[in-house]
Structure formats: structure tokens, C-alpha cells
Amino acid sequence: MKETLLINGAWRAASSGRTLPVINPAYGTVITETAEAGAEDVDAAVQAAAAAFPQWAAASGRERAALMHRAMDIFRSKYLDEAARLLTQENGKPLNDSLKECRYTADVIDFYADESRRITGTHFAGDMGATHSFILKQPVGVVAAILPWNFPVDLLAWKIGPGLAAGCTFVVKPSEEAPLAVLKLAQAFLDAGLPDGVLNVVTGAKTTGASLVQHPTVRKIAFTGSGATGQWIGEQAARQMKRVTLELGGSAPLIVCTDANLEAAVQQAARRCFSHTGQICISVNRIFVQQPVLEAFTERFVELTRKLRVTPDGLREPDADMGPMINAAGVAKVEQHVEDARQRGAQVLVGGSRPAGAEYSPDGFFYSPTVLVEVQPDMRVMVEETFGPVAPIAGFDRLEEAVRLANATPYGLAAYLYTSDVNAAFYAARQLQFGGVGVNVNDITDIRGAFGGMKQSGIGRELGEPGLDCYLETKHVRFAYQNPG
């Protein structure tokens, strides 16, 4: 498994021979080793992408669409199950969640394959003399796609789907924690006959990613990951005026009003707090419930949380609610946030520790779903991104107050509101400073929507039309002509 660099249509090892282990977080054991790309490997991948660019950019939308669809047919029939199993092994989510991610990946790429045929520009008669202007949409060039470990395959599709459709070529840097399923997706494109160099993959960690970011031939960086890394990438990109899409962390509030369908709100809140062990950028991090229903909400939420199944192995229990966290640092952060809350007066109603039982490997990175009450706005769990299975619940009196508390965060990715009052819904949806607002729904993702953050949660949008437009340059071509006679 050391030949994990896909450069110019061929798999190979790092020229230095260096490797990195991939760990199964359920057991803390090494699954396999991947190549760690050095600067020379990154350069070779970028050169391959640059050489492939003119031909791929010049291909018709019809040709690009056909190749992308063929790749997804192959992915579904030949690699999807294997990719999902690898995903569960490398990042811990139960197998059904991995299957869902891989199926959605193929949907996104199919969606953008069709969009490839709809890229057009516009034109208009000039208003100063005899001129006519054309607005052309042209691919940006070589793109670096840098991925996190939590939805590695899906979030790659959000980048190469629109980017390949636009005519860009790619160098992909998967997360060192979860690179394996991504390699299967890349293989499907190879099998489909994608021209050499259009899609390259360099496995590695921070230094590999940094070489890619700083490479002068890369014209755009599409990054999903932590705020700290995103900020560094933004600074580097600014030096060479590279385009960036930065999808960063979040601290999503969920507001429940007295007039909400309480059972729906509780069930959806529990799912969005604990699914993928709380390690989703749009996971609910803070729950605000209007006082008259606070007690009933909390009781039912606790009841549902107690029933959640944390599987010791997501391959053995595909339909479990959650698995392990990604690594020891992730668990340590959750422990610190819960301890900080406890010390400052919060009460732990459920969880607050590792799950008990010999079925859990002592070397696995497990943490129980945890419910906190009597939380204060300045506790770490209310301010920082915990990125773990912790649900802090607080009360509020008036909706204006809930909106103010919800906005009191540097993040602005996703927010959720449960109410049956359409006026309250419109008011809050407009006031909440988040890139996505779910009203009576716990997911803000739709292929045709726009997904992305305000404030520290990032720059740019993925999915929908904005997700395609950011892989296109807008060029103005102005013609002067003479009217005969």
C-alpha cells in the first residue's frame, strides 16, 4: 500500500520512500502505510496537472460529462462498497454512514457532470460606440484540493465535481488520517479513462499540503479543515493571489421555540449532535430551548441519548448510531471542554466519560454521548468548536435573546431553528449570522444549495451554482466593429 501517489495516470511511492501510518481509531492499530509525498513529488503532480490542463479545458462539456458519469458508474459498481469499508476503518463511522457518504459522493459528481454542459457566458451590445462585449467563463487552472478526515470522499466530490466540470485539473491532498477511501474514488476515474494528469493525488500530511499550497503553478486552493490551517492557507494564497475556497470549523446553535413540534425537534437535535460522534462541521454544538419547554425537551433528549448505540466496531454494527472519535487529541479536547464546564457549574446528565465495557478496545478513541445543563455562555464548550459528542442545553425567554446568544460566536457555518411560527422563522433566519440556516430541519446540505461559512467559518461556497462558479474565471472580451456605410 505504499504506492499511493497518483501522478500523471500512474500510482507510485514517494521518491524519498517515506511513509505514514493510517490508524483505525476503533483499535488504535495501524491499518496500512501510505506514501508521504515530498516537495519533488508535489511538483511532479502539479506539473502533470498543468500539462493536462489545456486539453481538459478545451474538451467540450459533453465530453467531460461523459467521462465523469462513466467514472461514477464504475465507482458505484466496482469500488463503492470497498471505499465505504475503508472509510469506516480509517475514520470510525458506522458502515451505513460510510455507505451513505459514498453514494452521495457519486450523486454530487453526476450532478456536476450534467452542469458541465450548461456552462455558458453572456454577451451585450456596448454602450460607447460600435462595440460588442462577450463575458466568457473559463476554467481557473490547476486546483489544489486539501481534505479533512471526517467526510473525505464526499468533500472531495464537492471540489472535483464542479472543478472537473469547469475544465480545471487537480492535485488532491487527502487527510493523513483518512486517505484510503479517496484512493478508490481516484481509481474509478482512472478506470474510466480520464486523461493522464487531470486528477492527481498526493498522500501526506502538513508538509505535503504546505508544498502544494505554496506551489506557484497552483491557481486555486479548495480547502476544508480547521480554522487554524485555513487561516495559514489564506495568508499563503494571498501572496500569490490564488483563488481560495475555505470551508472551516463551526459552532452550530439549535434553537427550539415553545411552539415547535417538540418530538421532531428533540429527535433531530439528538441526531445532529451525535451523528459521526459529533465530528461534523455542522454538528449541533449549542442547544437553546425556550423556558416553557426546556424541562420536557431536556428529559426527552436525555432519554434518546441514553439509547444511542456506540459501536466498538462500525464494520460489525453497520447501523449503530456512532463509533469512536478520530484520535487521542480529539478525545482529549472533549475531556477538557467537559471538565471546564463541570468546574464552572455545569451538570453532566449523561456520559461525561469513555463508554464502559470490555467490548471497547482499550486503545480505541471512544467517548460517550454527553449531555450538559446549567451551562454558561463563556464556557469553552459554548465558545470553541468541541468537535465531539457533547450537547450543552441552555434556556432562553425571548427569541431575540436566543438569536443574540446563537450569534455570540466567531463561527458562522450552520444554525437550526424549530418553530411553527412563520414570522419567528423569517425573523430568525434573517438575523442569524450563519451561511446556512435550517428551519425545522437538521441539515443544511442540498446539492443545489450553497454550503459555506460566514465569519471565521470560511470564504466562498460549495455546492449549487456558487460551487461551480468559483472554478471559473470571468473574462470580458470587447469587440469594436465598423458599421458598413
Query: Which residues are the active-site residues?
Result: 247, 281
> Which neighbouring-strand residues pair with 436?
414
Least distance (Å) between residue 169 CB and ligand NAD: 19
Does residue 148 bind ligand NAD (CB under 6 A)? yes
Grid cell, residue 333, equals 479536547
Does residue 412 bind ligand NAD (CB under 6 A)? no
Least distance (Å) between residue 155 CB and ligand NAD: 6
Q: Based on CB atoms, which residue is closest to ligand NAD, 101 or 247?
A: 247
Grid cell, residue 170, equals 487537480
Q: Residues 250 to 269: which contact ligand NAD by CB under 6 A?
A: 250
Q: Which stretch binds ligand NAD (CB under 6 A): 29-37, 124-132, 170-178, 185-193?
A: 170-178
Query: In the set 97, 110, 115, 247, which binds ligand NAD (CB under 6 A)?
Result: 247
Does residue 226 bind ligand NAD (CB under 6 A)? yes
Q: Residues 308 to 337: which contact ligand NAD by CB under 6 A?
A: none
Does residue 150 bind ligand NAD (CB under 6 A)? yes
Least distance (Å) between residue 143 CB and ligand NAD: 14
Does residue 281 bind ligand NAD (CB under 6 A)? yes
Does residue 149 bind ligand NAD (CB under 6 A)? yes
Does residue 57 bind ligand NAD (CB under 6 A)? no
Least distance (Å) between residue 444 CB and ligand NAD: 10
Q: Which stretch binds ligand NAD (CB under 6 A): 38-46, 133-141, 219-227, 357-365?
A: 219-227
Least distance (Å) between residue 282 CB and ligand NAD: 7
Query: In the set 118, 123, 132, 206, which binds ligand NAD (CB under 6 A)?
Result: 206
Interface characters, 441-460, with ligand NAD (x: CB under 6 A) = ------------x----x--
Q: Based on CB atoms, which residue is closest to ligand NAD, 197 or 250?
A: 250
Query: In the set 61, 141, 167, 209, which binds ligand NAD (CB under 6 A)?
Result: 209
Q: Which stretch binds ligand NAD (CB under 6 A): 43-51, 66-74, 171-179, 466-474?
A: 171-179
Per-position b or e across 118-150, b if 16+ CB within 10 A of its CB: ebeeeeeeeeeeeeeeeeebebbbbbbbbbbbb
Query: In the set 64, 159, 173, 215, which binds ligand NAD (CB under 6 A)?
Result: 173
HSE-up (13 A, CA, CB side) for residue 446: 10
Does residue 385 bind ligand NAD (CB under 6 A)? yes
Instruction: Characterize the bridge pairing of strands 390-396 and 370-373.
Output: parallel
Q: Which stretch binds ligand NAD (CB under 6 A): 13-21, 77-85, 141-149, 415-423?
A: 141-149
Q: Which stretch binds ligand NAD (CB under 6 A): 7-15, 144-152, 336-344, 366-374?
A: 144-152
Q: What is the contact surface with ligand NAD in residues (CB under 6 A)? A: 146-151, 173, 175-176, 205-206, 209-210, 213, 224-226, 229, 232-233, 247-250, 281, 385, 387, 413, 453, 458
